[in-house]
């Protein structure tokens, strides 16, 4: 079990859902915790709940309101947290994120940019500023830098399908970021800093309830057999993987198969990964033929008589028509 007693745990997206569930476990293990989110009200409520559950009154549980997608906000939040708690971060959980599941043509350019900022850039800022804070803390103390950085991605980052054209790529980018970071910290001053990428499946959170309002029917059908876990259940899976030092961590058997099939050069958790990868290849072939492709035909994202497509085509042809008229 990872020893968190009297260690500084820094969690973005920590006021609710998975972030708060991870914070509960960290507090139960004796950690000092700093929660990051944009709204002060939910942060205050989360801090009050955690303080009430803390096994030691001396544990420091604080909150810093910040927009994780803004680098200066992250720099301020880390600086304040280190000053208030009096310790550099030991475990950083980059959990801030959002999803707007819609058809590709139903999304606006702003939807794509917003999700990239909230999901990917928040993870970049938390890990970039956080790793510097870990190294600086060790330099000041004259010790070896130690710590963990956990990036929260999603099983959707391993396999893209309809409805997640804006969300999925941001989570795939986080997986790639984690692979790059894991490689970079293998040697040098950060050689005792471990990287984790968490790949949860469907989770029963306030965000999930909001997603259902815009989620296409095709997406719902493809996800219908995916078990819906509570944030507390997912937090248990998270710490189970972190405690064992696993690089990529999942919450369901399907997620585990996808992880094994798509881990590329990421290190295996154990020899069973190779057997699971073979199972995943067979399972993915079956799923594509029985659900993935048939459902795409049954629940079309771009109808044959799509007004949006018709307008786009007409606008595209208009200049050509004028050009041909002049010839």
Count CA atoms closer than 13 A to 139's CA, side-chain side. Answer: 8
Task: In whole angstroms, give the CA distance from residue 152 to residue 25.
Answer: 16
DSSP 193-205: EEEEEEE---B-S
- Tell me which residue of 186, 187, 85, 181 sits closest to 137, measured CA to CA: 85
Q: Is 167 a catalytic residue?
A: yes
Residue 11: exposure state from Cβ atoms within 10 A (0-12, 13-18, ≥19): buried
188, 135 in Cβ contact below 8 A? Answer: no
- Which listed residue (167, 194, 215, 276) is catalytic? 167
Q: Is 120 a catalytic residue?
A: no
If DSSP codes are grouped into helix, strand and coil, which group holds residue 16?
A: coil
Task: In whole angstroms, give the CA distance from residue 269 to residue 246.
Answer: 6
- Tell me which residue of 249, 115, 123 sits closest to 177, measured CA to CA: 123
- Which listed residue (102, 171, 215, 276) is catalytic? 171
Could you tell me the two tokens for 238? 């998270």
17, 43 in Cβ contact below 8 A? Answer: no
Q: What is the dihedral of CA 78, 80, 86, 87, to 10 degrees?
A: 0
CA 188 from centroid of its chain's CA atoms: 27
Q: Which residues are catalytic?
A: 167, 171
């Amino acid at each position: 079990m990872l020893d968190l007693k009297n260690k500084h745990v820094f969690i973005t997206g920590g006021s609710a859902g998975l972030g708060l569930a991870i914070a509960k476990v960290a507090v139960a293990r004796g950690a000092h915790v700093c929660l990051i989110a944009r709204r002060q009200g939910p942060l205050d409520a989360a801090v009050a709940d955690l303080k009430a559950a803390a096994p030691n009154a001396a544990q420091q549980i604080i909150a810093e309101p910040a927009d994780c997608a803004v680098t200066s906000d992250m720099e301020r939040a880390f600086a304040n947290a280190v000053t208030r708690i009096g310790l550099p971060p030991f475990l950083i959980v980059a959990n801030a994120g959002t999803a707007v599941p819609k058809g590709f043509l139903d999304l606006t350019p702003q939807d794509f940019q917003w999700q990239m900022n909230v999901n990917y850039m928040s993870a970049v800022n938390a890990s970039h500023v956080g790793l510097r804070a870990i190294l600086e803390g060790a330099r000041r103390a004259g010790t070896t830098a130690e710590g963990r950085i956990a990036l929260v991605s999603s099983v959707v980052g391993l396999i893209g399908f309809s409805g997640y054209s804006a969300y999925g790529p941001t989570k795939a980018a986080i997986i790639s970021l984690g692979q790059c970071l894991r490689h970079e910290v293998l040697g040098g001053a950060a050689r005792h800093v471990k990287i984790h990428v968490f790949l949860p499946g469907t989770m029963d959170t306030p965000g999930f309830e909001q997603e259902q309002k815009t989620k296409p029917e095709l997406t719902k059908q493809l996800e219908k057999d995916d078990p819906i876990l509570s944030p507390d259940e997912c937090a248990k899976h998270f710490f189970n993987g972190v405690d064992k030092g696993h690089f990529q961590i999942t919450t369901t058997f399907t997620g585990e198969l996808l992880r094994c099939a798509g881990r590329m050069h990421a290190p295996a958790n154990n020899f069973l990964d190779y057997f699971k990868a073979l199972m995943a290849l067979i399972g993915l072939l079956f799923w594509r033929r029985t659900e993935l492709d048939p459902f795409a035909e049954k629940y079309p994202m771009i109808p044959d008589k799509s007004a949006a497509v018709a307008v786009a085509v007409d606008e595209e042809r208009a200049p050509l028509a004028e050009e041909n008229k002049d010839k």
